[in-house]
Amino acid sequence: MQLIDGKAIASQIKKEIAEEVNTIKANGGKTPHLAAVLVGHDGGSETYVSNKVRTCEEVGFKSTLIRYESDVTEKEILACVERLNKDADVDGFIVQLPLPKHISEEKVIEAIDYRKDVDGFHPINVGRMSIGLPCFISATPAGIVELLKRYNIPTQGKNCVVLGRSNIVGKPIAGLMMQKGYPGDATVTVCHSRTPNIKEICLEADIIIAAMGVPEFLKGDMVKEGVTVIDVGTTRVPSAETKSGFKLKGDVAFDEVATKAGFITPVPGGVGPMTIISLMKNTLLAGKKEIYK
């Protein structure tokens, strides 16, 4: 079994980005600027957003964090998006999800200028990705693809099973794994809460991407020997062992599955750090106007 060390790969890419930012600045170019909008005080969102802001500092980006209480109105959030769309200094921005129930995530995402949508959640970016046009690819799927590449994991003609059909992970990663080229050219099966025979399907898989958000869903008896397992789950469960009182749990029963897997990502330290780094890459691309003028 080989552990896929997302944390190590992410810090390597972080150095590459920091060097490029230095060069841009040395040549009198504009410092890339990422803004993040955070609504409410949910523990997970706070941690992820502060990771993002800290990483911006580490690579030399400018960052702006805009915070709202959870009783903020949809109108106020839409006005904030409009301001960020117009702010010439902001190259890209994200609105951290999930949003409180009284705010429509669809409306907010559609209001974002797709040229600044470094999350890759806007329908224009989603659509362009699905037909293979230049676009912002959402950070988690992009991070997964990068890990497969860096570990030279074969995908062509392989059975890839995606667990979960969310708009931000399941659907886009399924599309990327079946697209032409590498990593891609896989035979993709998407399973979800209504799939009756998930175990049977997983037992045929060469690659399993687990993104259902159900802690320790994938058990040792559901995978074949030598499988590559990518664990996207990040559920916070209460824990007495940690200072924060929470522990991060993946969608994979790690110990059981690791004994059979060829490659496996840990949680934390797997896909999470790669998600952050992909967001930085998208922000750099936005700053350089490489995808959209």
Ligand X SMILES: Nc1nc(=O)c2c([nH]1)NC[C@@H]1CN(c3ccc(C(=O)N[C@@H](CCC(=O)O)C(=O)O)cc3)C=[N+]21
* Contact positions with ligand X (CB under 6 A) in 224-243: 234
Residue 150 annotated as part of some ligand binding site: no
Which candidate in 91, 96, 116, 251 is catalytic? 96
Binding-site member from 4, 207, 257, 267 for ligand X (CB under 6 A):
267
Residue 277's φ and ψ, nearest 5 degrees, are -70, -35
What is the spatial distance between Cα 41 and Cα 255, in angstroms, rounded to a whole number? 32
Tell me whether residue 96 is one of the annotated catalytic residues.
yes
Residue 164 annotated as part of some ligand binding site: yes
Q: Please give the size of the binding site for ligand X, defined by CB under 6 A.
A: 18
Give me the count of residues in the chain.
293
> Does 268 engage in binding with ligand X (CB under 6 A)?
yes
Residue with tokens 């924060």: 244
Binding-site member from 47, 85, 104, 167 for ligand X (CB under 6 A):
47
What is the spatial distance between Cα 266 and Cα 127, in angstroms, rounded to a whole number? 31
Is residue 254 within a helix (H) or strand (E), and if so which, with residue range? Answer: helix 254-258
Structure tokens, 11: 């810090």
Region from 58-66, 146-154, 196-204, 262-270 binding ligand X, contact rule CB under 6 A: 262-270
> Does 273 engage in binding with ligand X (CB under 6 A)?
yes
Q: Which residues, listed in sequence order, are joined to residue 35 by a DSSP beta bridge?
A: 64, 93
> Does 109 engage in binding with ligand X (CB under 6 A)?
no
- Find out whether 27 and 60 touch, Cβ atoms under 8 Å: no
Which candidate in 52, 116, 171, 281 is catalytic? 52
Binding-site member from 125, 155, 228, 275 for ligand X (CB under 6 A):
275
Structure tokens, 104: 């429509």
* Burial classification of residue 167, based on how many CB atoms lie within 10 Å of its CB (0-12 exposed, 13-18 middle, 19 or more buried): middle
Instruction: Work out whether the CA dihedral 265, 123, 97, 164 comes out positive or negative.
Output: negative
> Does 166 engage in binding with ligand X (CB under 6 A)?
no
Residue 228 annotated as part of some ligand binding site: no
Region from 68-76, 95-103, 212-220, 254-262 binding ligand X, contact rule CB under 6 A: 95-103
Q: Looking at the annotation, which residues are catalytic?
A: 52, 96, 119
Chain contacts with ligand X (rule: CB under 6 A): 47-48, 51, 94-97, 119, 139, 234, 248, 267-269, 272-273, 275-276
> Annotated binding site for NADP(+): which residue ranges?
164-166, 234
> Annotated binding site: which residue ranges?
164-166, 234
